[in-house]
Chain A
Amino acid sequence: MTTERPTAAALELRGIHRRFGDVLALDGVDFRVASGSVHALLGENGAGKSTLMRVAFGLLRADSGTVSVAGRQLTSPSVRSASRAGLGMVHQHLSLSPGLDAAENISLGGRGVYRPGPAAERLRSLAQQSGLDVPVDAKAGDLSIVQQQRLEILKALARDATVLILDEPTAVLAPPESAELMAWIRSFAGSGGSVVLVTHKLREALAVADSITVLRRGQVTYTGPANESTEARLTRAIFPDGEPLPVALVIAPPSDVVVSARSISVRGDRGGVPVHSASFDVRRHEIVGVAAVEGSGHRALLAALASLRRISIGELQLPARIAFVPADRQRDALIGEFSIVENVALFGLGAAVGRMNWGAIAERARKLIERFSIAAASETVAAGTLSGGNQQRLVVARALERPVDLVVADNPTRGLDVQASAFVHDQLRRAAAGGAAVVLHSSDLDEVLALATRVLVVFHGEVRECAVDRNIIGRAMLGAA
């Protein structure tokens, strides 16, 4: 239809609108990626970045607007047509089939006969060409996170992708691994490919991108070359009312020990990494950050601290009152179809006996809604109808309803916008100020550094104390001294 101009954009989205129920996720978004460049798509959680890219890749249908690759408009959006046009996407939550091996994963979606020998060969040569090393024979589920990510990139490259969309790729990586990935992205762009880097990390965008676009609540609030963008300018574009300042809280110095671990070993989940010979203390008023990459055993450690799993060796002293904020709130913290009242009753249900006093529990729920400013019509609505931020408010509210001695939080601000994140951080700091010990793990190292007074690094099941320094921690997360 249109003649291809040499300066055609590698990827162009025009006037994209997409509504989910009442929420307008994308409101007339224009997005243009020049060919051979790295373009960062910035914005806080919930701004619509992932949604926009899912539209581009054909996973979602836009209500209106067009998607064009290399000047040619995609008429019927689908993953197949997007792939054929040269788009490749590496998803935030990796989409590999764990039971299939690497070659099968790469070949997924093909046609006809499948020959494992040639497929493995193709994978090997592709890996060599692009500089992304991946074991070919292992099942995808057995690979490390970094290897899985590389495999996803190779999957896109195997389809001759010229435009790569990377959705929050560094969320699960340690700093050195992130740096490696950024270097690779630059070299990919250097050899003619184009990259869209979806991220909420300002500094990352400034470090690697040629151009930057900022999304806020489904609208573009800024777009321009990276070398003309300043941190301040970008911050203003990302946050609607400016970044909320942390409430000034005076937290007393650490006092008595509430958690004492001596050479503990904890077994991992099914096939997960265990922790061995860990020794550390946690005191009241402390916020101890746990820094680790996926698969290092920190899950086991947190489970033991939250009193959800028994240690197999050693001594672990835990206080009586523990509150746990799990990473996956929809799976582990709340029951979506139950009301807020019932979810409040869920906490500590294992030890409850006799009759349930629903009247008293409802009263508690009402108080919690008020005290923690949960936006809900009433305490009888289903928890699943609350927004992500309000769900997390409920989880935190329920955990901190009564005074506790230890708070264990695993990625407590995942998927939350900055408002809700600030609330959670505030609550954690209040808990510490009030005398609790707080142990916090986050995949976002910056979050850990912002809150923690001490940092424990977990690597291959070993737990070590580390200086509160980004570089030192980053290297320790990967096992370097």
Chain B
Amino acid sequence: MVGPTQHRDRGDMTDMAPFFEAAVRTAAPLLLAAVGESVAERAGVINIGLEGCILAGAYAAFAFGVASPVAGYSAAIVAGLAVGALLVAFAVVRRHDQVIVGTALTMLCLGVTGALFRSRPDHGSVLVAMEPAVRVPVLTDIPMLGALFSQPITTYFALALLPAVWWWLHRTHAGVALRAVGDSHEAARAAGVRIALVQSGAVLFGAALGGLAGGALVLAQAGSFAEGMSAGRGFLAIAIVALGRWRVGGVAAASIVFGAAMALQYVVQSLGWGLRYELVLMIPYMATLAALGLFGRGTAPAMLGRRLAE
């Protein structure tokens, strides 16, 4: 890695390499969570508990990741699914208000993960072996974009997920049905589509990815757990879905942008901007708010948040 101080005066592009690498790595969990949430929302369910899914996944990955990354990631997905199952039970099956249930689930995960973490005999001092970056031979050496090819597995998985999800939503009947469910309950019902089933599947998918995102936070970024480490990523993901207009491409683009904003905190010293650290921490949230203000007026799926009638 080229020392930043050597090239600062010339504004060399290689200055940005560590930032770029951090941006992509930070964006990956956001991307995972946002893609999953976009599928859930296209089916008409908003998951305010996504923050909880991420946190639950993070703790599960921390607790089980000591054994192996595979165990950690599997546990993370299961944890996310568990939270998603609760959302399905209360908001889809029992048809309670999605936002209230989601808020309660996030609080639940905050409390449970915090309590479990604090009561660990080792007082959480264990560090988890972090996932190594998988480097693609020639491509890694490209000056700026090379960072894209030296990423943990989860990043590649997230990127591969994008075309897969798009294809599934637009080139399978199941995907068309899911989009219809989020668009008009009447149309779906009249076509014989089982709305509750579709919504349950969509929610679980999104929750599982949320858990996985949490796992990536621990196993591919931080290497340890801290209470509340999700730091609002779940809500950022929901905002990203809105900014990306519920479309896969838009969600990907927005995730990169906000991943970059979040990565600023790790490279703020080397960038030499002279901003206080706490103010830099504010940037992702304020940028999201500003973006929502400027670009937020999109059309949500018509049935988003609506309870099933009858």
Contact = CB atoms under 8 A, between A and B. Distances in A.
Is this pair of chains taken from one and the same complex?
Answer: yes
Interface of A: 58-59, 78-80, 83, 89, 91, 93, 95-100, 104-105, 107-116, 155
Interface stretch (B20-28, B68-76, B134-142, B171-179): B171-179
A79 B170 CA distance: 24
A85 to B, nearest CB: 13
A81 to B, nearest CB: 9
Given A97-B187, A116-B170, 13 more contacts: A89-B190, A95-B184, A95-B190, A97-B183, A98-B184, A99-B179, A100-B176, A105-B180, A108-B177, A108-B180, A109-B192, A109-B193, A113-B172
B302 to A, nearest CB: 7
Contacts of A115: 171
Contacts of A107: 173, 176
Contacts of B183: 97-100
Contact of A99 (B175, B193, B302): B302
A31 to B, nearest CB: 21
B302 A98 contact: yes
- SS of B interface (majority): helix
Given A78-B192, A108-B191, A109-B192, A96 B184 contact: yes
Contacts of A78: 192
A110 B184 CA distance: 17
A113 B184 contact: no
Contacts of A97: 179-180, 183-184, 187-188
Nearest to B193: A109
Contacts of A113: 171-173
20 contacts: A58-B192, A79-B192, A80-B192, A83-B192, A95-B186, A95-B187, A95-B190, A97-B184, A99-B302, A100-B183, A104-B176, A104-B180, A105-B187, A107-B173, A108-B191, A109-B173, A110-B173, A112-B172, A113-B171, A113-B173
A196 B186 CA distance: 21
B188 A108 contact: yes
A385 to B, nearest CB: 17
For the complex of A and B, the 4 pairs showing the least CB-CB separation, nearest first, are A79-B192, A109-B191, A95-B190, A97-B187
Contacts of B172: 112-114
A205 to B, nearest CB: 25
Interface of B: 170-173, 175-177, 179-180, 183-184, 186-193, 301-302
B184 A114 contact: no
B177 A109 contact: yes
Residue among B172, B177, B186, B301 facing the most chain A CB atoms (10 A cut-off): B177
A74 B183 CA distance: 30
A51 to B, nearest CB: 13
A108 B193 contact: yes
Contacts of A111: 173
Contacts of A109: 173, 177, 191-193
Nearest to B177: A108
Contacts of B188: 97, 108
Given A100-B179, A114-B176, A93 B192 contact: no
Nearest to A152: B190
Residue among A78, A97, A113, A115 facing the most chain B CB atoms (10 A cut-off): A97
A128 to B, nearest CB: 23
Nearest to A89: B190
A236 to B, nearest CB: 35
Contacts of B187: 95-97, 105, 108
Nearest to B173: A110
A97 B186 CA distance: 8
A32 B180 CA distance: 34
Residue among B172, B179, B186, B190 facing the most chain A CB atoms (10 A cut-off): B190
A109 B193 CA distance: 6
B173 to A, nearest CB: 4
B178 to A, nearest CB: 11
Contacts of B189: 59, 79, 95
A79 B193 CA distance: 9
Nearest to A90: B190
Contacts of A99: 179, 183-184, 301-302
A258 B191 CA distance: 49
A159 B221 CA distance: 52
A113 B170 CA distance: 9
A107 B191 CA distance: 9
B176 A79 contact: no
A468 B306 CA distance: 44
Nearest to A115: B171
A212 to B, nearest CB: 26
Contacts of B180: 97, 100, 104-105, 108
Contacts of A155: 191
B191 A79 contact: yes
A100 B191 CA distance: 13
Residue among B175, B183, B188 facing the most chain A CB atoms (10 A cut-off): B183
B191 A114 contact: no
Nearest to B184: A97
A442 B259 CA distance: 54
Contacts of B184: 95-99
